[in-house]
Amino acid sequence: MATSEFWQRLSASVSSIEWEVPLSVESSRVTRGTAKFWMALDVATIIVAGAVATMYVLKTGLIDLAVNFWNGTLFVHDPMWSLLGLFSVFTVSLLLTSKRLHLYSPTRISNVLNEQRMSMQACFTAGLVLTGTIYLDRAVYVPRTVVLITIGLVTVALGVRRFLYRLMLYNRYDRGVGTRNVLIVGTGPEAHALRHHLESIRHLGYTFKGFVPLPAQESVSPNRTPDIIGTYDTLFQRARAMFVDEIFFTSPCEHGLMQNALELARVQGVDLRIIPDMYDGLAWNSPIEYIGQFPTIPLHRGDVPELALIFKRGFDVLFSVLFLLVFSPLLLVIAIAVKLDSAGPALYKSERIGKKGRVFRCLKFRTMVQEADKLRDEMAHMNERDGVLFKVSNDPRITELGHLLRKYSLDELPQFLNVLKGDMSVVGPRPPIASEVREYKLNHLRRLDVTPGITGLWQVQGRQDPSFASYVSMDVNYIDNWSIWLDFKIIIRTIGVIFTGTGS
């Protein structure tokens, strides 16, 4: 589901919200982790392709292949180190050529056909280097059929893999998942052209959020330039409130303003790009990157642990599939019990706010009577939590079975379906409801910088703490110190919380 209207109203009123600048982050590792991941996949592809080609030509099995290779008897008079040398030549040539052709750059920068063409070019170039090396080394013991089939398999495999990955990305973009929010600084023709370009080519994965005029342009009437969301002085406050990932500068401005924006982008971890015509010497060594067909120069990239996030997503999918398969009988029993216990559907679908303010339907087993949400306003005076959170002991809306399900956190089990969809993660801050987010201060929005989770640090450490400040503090602490190992520790502690029945 797309961002709801309430979120647009919240962003529009950001000038009255407190803004706290987070700690500075480094940007040098922005794409290194992801590039290493794709390089490792390329190496694995070469190994598999070489093994398949050899087994096909020699009519041998995988175990015999490994034994003969280790003993140096795979081919006639084939020293193992010579084969390893040839493999290294092909692999290094492919990796270097692919990097030179920017195949490890963000996928959104190039289109499908261009990526496929460059992928074929990288494979053929590496193949020519390999065949040249075999000729110069006089490695006549290597069957030419194996070489040709290996090159062909690698070319096809890399092309298919990149194509399927793009299809997956485009499908996520169509659902509003994984897109990057963009602000455009400037209101001139270049700014409107860039907006049209980003909105017309949806597979780029960008979502336009608004224009911010430069000081010299702020006298322009908003009626003449719609979608102006603020002034230049509030640029990064607006970026924070709207979960902006990239800011594009499209109009010339004073060097001091540009330098100040660059420093704030580094502090905020926001990507910053400019149009080449107005860079004014700020990025002499930066390459021009095409967003679709639009040339840009990246001045700064925020620090995103993309490789670790890919691993986290893979773990989420695997863990959720295994959990749903193993505990499907339990889920069925609970669903039947909820239906028999009280009138209403077994599942309760609640609109929650996810990463970057994206609205999604969070699934739970129903633990309250029907239309319980409408009774919440009447019970506001009974709230036992301070500030934003809402909690009432012995809530009369909760059914008898609901108390049991909540005590052992069984009502939240259907959220593994949300994890499979990508709306949630196994571990992360709990997704808030819209009414809570309306009361957030700007620094509280850091909770929404990451994908919400079924369990989190607050669930295992401070669940009974009524303080909203403590609630936010634990979530921010989790975000600042996140690691795969921290997720594992929280999952293990969650099991203990479930069995001790400390849920609410």
Using one digit for the tens of pLDDT, what is the confidence trace for 324-363?
A: 999 999 999 999 999 998 888 899 998 999 998 888 999 9
Please list, in sequence order, all residues whose beta carbon lies within 8 angstroms of the beta carbon of residue 76, skipping any fewer than 6 positions away. 141
Token reading at 403: 């108390």
Which comes out higher in pLDDT, residue 161 or 107?
Answer: 161
The fraction of the chain above a pLDDT of 70, given in percent, is 76
Which comes out higher in pLDDT, residue 80 or 366?
Answer: 366
pLDDT recorded at residue 24 = 34
pLDDT recorded at residue 27 = 35
Q: What is the mean pLDDT of residues 367-371?
A: 79
CA separation for the pair 217, 232 (Å, rounded): 10
List, for residues 286-305, the tens digit of each pLDDT value.
Answer: 667 777 777 787 877 766 67
pLDDT recorded at residue 220 = 57
Exposed e or buried b per residue across 235-244, where buried means at least 16 C-beta atoms within 10 angstroms of its C-beta: bbbbbbbbbb
Q: What is the mean pLDDT of residues 221-234?
A: 74
CA separation for the pair 460, 442 (Å, rounded): 26
The per-residue pLDDT of the chain, averaged, comes to 79
Token reading at 310: 């890919």
List, for residues 406-419, the tens digit of each pLDDT value.
Answer: 888 899 999 999 99
pLDDT recorded at residue 337 = 93
Which comes out higher in pLDDT, residue 492 or 303?
Answer: 492
Task: Using alpha carbons only, give the angle 277, 103, 155 rounded to the nearest 5 degrees.
Answer: 145
Is 46 strand, coil or helix? helix
Domain ranges of the chain: 17-27+179-304, 32-173, 307-500
Lowest-confidence region among 171-185, 340-354, 392-406, 442-456:
392-406
Q: How many CB atoms lie within 10 A of CB 387?
A: 16
Token reading at 178: 């994984």
Task: Using alpha carbons only, give the angle 251, 255, 260 rounded to the nearest 5 degrees.
Answer: 95
Which comes out higher in pLDDT, residue 423 or 386?
Answer: 423
- What is the pTM assigned to this prediction? 0.66
pLDDT recorded at residue 387 = 59
- 17-27+179-304 is classed CATH 3.20.20.120: no
Q: Which residue, 94, 84, 104, is CA-closest to 155?
A: 94
pLDDT at 223 over 80: no
